[in-house]
Amino acid sequence: MADLPVVLVVAVALIDADGRILIAQRPEGKSMAGLWEFPGGKVESGEAPDAALIRELQEELGVDTRQSCLAPLTFASHAYEDFHLLMPLYVCRIWKGIPQAREGQKLAWVRPAQLTDYPMPPADVPLVAMLRDFL
């Protein structure tokens, strides 16, 4: 097996007061379009994962949070065909603003037990069981 470049992506489980988790559907034109995922994105060179997540939440959803509100929970490590994904998953219960789809994605607030009803990229699937056990 050839060495694959490692891509660092950060994701978050935003959990509302009712214990629901926000997921986003990848829009048409992106790889894995139509699949549901936890909000987040690529960590830029020299950027800390939590700083990247705060930036991505602002860009993607228009919400603000702080480093102290992000709790690392687990991570995904998955080999796709042309890269290896490393994805820390944080949990966040405190943010300012109402999440809104700013990049053409659909959003859904989902109970932990219903997360398996939404098709997800292979790297996200093992995170669902970890989240359900945590909640």
Give the chain's domains with CATH numbers.
Answer: 6-134 (3.90.79.10)
1 has a pLDDT exceeding 90: no
Task: Tell me which residue has tokens 């700013």.
Answer: 102
Question: pTM for this one?
Answer: 0.92
Per-residue pLDDT tens over the stretch 116-129: 999 999 999 999 99
Rg (CA), the chain: 14
Please compute the mean of the pLDDT values over residues 78-95 and round it to a whole number: 95
Tens of pLDDT, residues 6-59? 999 999 999 999 999 999 999 888 889 999 999 999 999 999 999 999 999 999
Quickly list DSSP for 31-86. TTTT-EE-SEEEPPTT--HHHHHHHHHHHHH--B--GGGEEEEEEEEEE-SS-EEE
Q: What is the per-residue pLDDT for 2?
A: 64
